[in-house]
């Protein structure tokens, strides 16, 4: 097995525990150290590992942590396998077993340094671009996370002049900036007159772009740009792309005008990839900046996204902002409300209340869903007017807080 981690203090603790458990069971643990989720996926697939493990809570604060399990093909493990593992952690053994056997003597596994895997991934990224970024001035916000060394190395090698923030991890400051908080990067792009900026999250599976004016291009805008580019190159098939129910309706309509279909699925990059496999789509993603290009991998890769977006601009000879021609996002408002019990919120009728709010406020649509990574309910409203969106999410948020007492 191959193991990577982000920069959280707890990631080092979890890595030690995982290595101990794996080797005690007879498995060899190959350690990539601080690296990105996408690099673990890439190395698992290309180097023939049985499984990949990434220790990260992605875009969450440093106090959270998690473990991402990656199959031999580089894809996230399916629900059934994850459920079986969670049952084991809860003391529920697989049928026919009372315990899992431990290795003894020479059967104990080895712990092996595998930084060469991370270096090979960097080489893979550098080889992806079909053009040089020479003379381009690019801002990078690494969120004090997994990309803090990798991103600069890649863009420097491709010829760009890089300006980097979020590259001083101390174990506690992960995601203080980055894809979920682009203010610092936007300001830097404007103040220094940069050509583009790219913000990653804690494990660099997300990328949010900033154009030359300092304006944000979110995952929907990125999918629009990349879908049009794939269509120009003849790489986009009739299946079109896959987005999620949180994506802006403006994306769907803009793509339709370009003759590109857009299928929607539930939030989560593994659900996006699953839908891509079902439809045969070559591109999918989320508004949050998880972008999957099937040609390059089975999960979101913020660095691949950044490279391909800048490549689109260079090959066309235009700034990033020009690539959004034909796309206009509808007004949206989003809010996350912390709750003690996500299931209770839905049993209390929040969806029915949200439908009523949608009608009363004149919204085009409202989406309420439990977060997959935090004790939160995510609220999204979309309307012709921003004020209607704001009123809708505020009313639903107040309802959620009231039912908690």
Order across the sheet with 376-382: list the strands. 332-338, 376-382, 365-370
Between CA 142 and CA 291 the distance in angstroms is 17
CA distances from 306 to 18, 77, 311, 353, 382 (A): 32, 26, 8, 39, 27
Residue 380's H or E segment, with its range, is strand 376-382
Task: Indicate which residue of 58, 177, 179, 299 is catalytic.
Answer: 58
Q: How many Cα neighbours within 13 Å face the side chain of 174?
A: 28
Q: Per DSSP, what are the bridge partners of residue 178?
A: 181
φ and ψ of 78, to 5 deg: -75, 170
Confirm whether 58 is a catalytic residue. Answer: yes
User: Nearest 5 degrees, angle CA 152-CA 156-CA 158?
Assistant: 125
Task: Let me know: does 269 contact 345? Beta carbons within 8 Å.
Answer: no
Neighbours of 283 (CB within 10 A): 27
Tell me the two tokens of residue 30.
Answer: 């190959």
Alpha helices by DSSP H, listed for 25-169, are 37-46, 79-89, 115-128, 150-157
Q: In whole angstroms, what is the distance from residue 361 CA to residue 339 CA?
A: 24
Q: How far apart are the first and last CA of the chain?
A: 46
Q: What's the Cα-to-Cα distance from 230 to each of 198, 217, 241, 309, 314, rounded to whole Å? A: 21, 18, 10, 11, 15
Catalytic residues: 58
């Amino acid at each position: 097995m191959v193991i990577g981690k982000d920069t959280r203090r707890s990631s080092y603790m979890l890595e030690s525990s995982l290595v101990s458990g794996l080797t005690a069971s007879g498995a060899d643990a190959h350690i990539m150290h601080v690296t990105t989720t996408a690099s673990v996926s890439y190395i698992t697939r290309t180097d023939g590992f049985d499984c990949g493990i990434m220790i990260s809570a992605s875009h969450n604060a440093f106090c959270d942590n998690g473990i991402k399990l990656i199959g031999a093909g580089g894809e996230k493990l399916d629900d059934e396998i994850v459920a079986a593992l969670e049952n084991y952690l809860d003391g529920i053994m697989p049928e026919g077993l009372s315990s899992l056997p431990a290795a003894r003597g020479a059967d104990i596994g080895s712990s092996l340094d595998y930084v060469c895997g991370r270096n090979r991934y960097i080489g893979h990224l550098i080889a992806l671009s079909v053009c040089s970024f020479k003379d381009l001035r690019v801002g990078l916000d690494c969120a004090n996370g997994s990309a803090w060394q990798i991103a600069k190395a890649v863009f420097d090698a491709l010829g760009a002049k890089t300006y980097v923030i979020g590259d001083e991890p101390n174990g506690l400051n992960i995601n203080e900036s980055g894809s979920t908080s682009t203010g610092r990067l936007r300001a830097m792009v404007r103040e220094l007159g940069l050509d583009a900026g790219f913000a990653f999250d804690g494990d660099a599976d997300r990328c949010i772009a900033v154009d030359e004016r300092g304006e944000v291009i979110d995952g929907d805008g990125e999918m629009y740009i990349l879908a049009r580019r794939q269509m120009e190159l003849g790489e986009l098939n009739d299946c079109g792309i896959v987005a999620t129910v949180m994506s802006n309706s403006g994306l769907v309509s803009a793509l339709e005008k370009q003759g590109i279909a857009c299928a929607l699925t539930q939030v989560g990059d593994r659900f996006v990839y699953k839908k891509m496999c079902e439809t045969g789509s070559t591109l999918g993603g989320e508004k949050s900046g998880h972008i999957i290009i099937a040609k390059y991998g089975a999960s979101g890769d913020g660095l691949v996204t950044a490279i391909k977006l800048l490549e689109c601009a260079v090959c066309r000879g235009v700034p990033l902002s020009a690539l959004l021609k034909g796309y206009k996002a509808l007004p949206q408002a989003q809010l996350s409300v912390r709750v003690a019990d996500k299931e209770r919120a839905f049993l209390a009728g929040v969806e029915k209340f949200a439908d009523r709010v949608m009608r009363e406020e004149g919204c085009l649509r409202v989406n309420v869903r439990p977060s997959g990574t935090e004790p939160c309910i995510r609220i999204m409203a979309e309307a012709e007017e921003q004020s209607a969106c704001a009123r809708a999410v505020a009313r639903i948020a107040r309802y959620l807080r009231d039912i908690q007492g």
